[in-house]
Amino acid sequence: MNSRYFFKASLISFMFFCFIHVKSQSIIAYNDNRGYFNVFDNGVTTTIEYQAPQSFQVGGNCVAYVDFYNNLKVYYKGEVTTLYDGIPTKYQATHSLLVFNVGGIIKVFDKGKVTTLSTWTTNYQVADSLVAFIDQTTGAFKVYYKGGFQTIEDFHQTQMILEYQASNNTMAYLTYLREFKIFWNGNGYNLFKLANNSSQIQYQTGSNIVSFTSNNILGLTVFYKGNIFNVSNKQVTDFQTGDDMVAYTDAGGMHVFYAGKNYDLNGFAPDFYQVADSMLISYMPGYFSVFNKGKSSVLANFLPSEYAIDNNTLTYVDLQGGLNAFYNDESYQLSTFDKLIGFKLTGNAVWYSTATVYNKVFLRGKTY
């Protein structure tokens, strides 16, 4: 899953609030009507700044932001720490990591500790729990994973790394010898070498999974947790990869490979489908459906014009303008005829505001 998550239409704006969507569990950050910067963290709201930040990103266990005075800070476990006295070139908060770039120097904030990944690189990819990068000081192709470093390819081979994709805890790449390789769970796998220079491979990565097809191979193949599955022997029309799953269409219709098992959903392709995390939503006339954790459910008879998916939570606006959520195989109606002003989903937490009530948060079946 090359990233990250999908919004069908632009969300309704609300003048007092701004949010940014990244994968998270139970943290939301927002500017209130006074201009204060607040963090909702697992049921508790804390004001951490009294002036709105220049920018911010919400991660799975932290909130990173550039404050009013242009300093990079992080909120983590109830405390605020300054990471850099200035504006970084770039920063990214993921489910597990915060990675920031200061003029080509790449650092990671991981479980409260800052580690320098490289003192010079312009070529890196940030995933939920790993960072893949070419260290231009040594020429090595490396991965930071679970607090440590692994050299994936040495100096000579790295000069000709053709491409790579990192997602969550998995990375796939093509070497200069046109070898297709995978890094998963701390281990390397050399799958095969493309037959010749005219051979092309299409691949996508997700958590624990890599799906791929080639112009020389009919069908779709999946690497999942160290094993290879030939999930289809027909010409694949389209495929999308998420966490532990890949959805695909071929001449036999719509299918899903999830957690080592193949599911045949329909005998024909839907009008629309989208994969995020371990969730698949799809629509065919009269049926808006979700496939999650091996089970299919029909949620509505229309395709919502506004929705969001994150961390296996789905929120969407119905035809009457009400806000609905689907979480843990249960449906919830969050608002009805009280006019919806705006909503935002980060992880399992849904912030929403209506004409009569500001700043409600729905988290794992409970409303705050």
Quickly list DSSP for 211-232: EEEETTEEEEEEEETTEEEEEE
pLDDT at 9 > cutoff 80: no
Residue 19 forms part of a structural domain: no
The residue range of the domain holding 204 is: 162-276
Sequence-distant (6+) residues with CB within 8 A of 13 are: 342
Establish if 1 belongs to a structural domain: no
Instruction: Out of 93, 109, 141, pick the residue that ends a domain.
Output: 93
Residue 152 φ/ψ region, left for φ over 0, alpha for ψ in the -120 to 50 degree band, beta for the rest? alpha
Residues 75 and 103 grouped into a single domain:
no
Mean pLDDT, the chain, whole residue set: 89
Q: Say what the pLDDT of residue 31 is.
A: 85
- The answer on pLDDT for 1 being more than 80 is no
295 and 231 in a single domain? The answer is: no
Contact 31, 19 (CB under 8 A): no
Continuous H helices in 73-158: 155-158
Same domain (yes/no): 173, 271: yes
pTM of the entire structure?
A: 0.86
Q: Are residues 155 and 177 in the same domain?
A: no
Say what the pLDDT of residue 245 is. Answer: 97
Which of 130, 159, 188 terminates a domain? The answer is: 159
The CA distance from 57 to 91, in Å, is: 8
pLDDT tens digits for range 43-64: 899 999 999 999 999 998 999 9
In a domain, 14, yes or no: no
**Do the domain assignments include residue 4?**
no
Boundary-marking domain end, from 49, 78, 93: 93
Q: Kindly state whether residues 223 and 315 are assigned to the same domain.
A: no
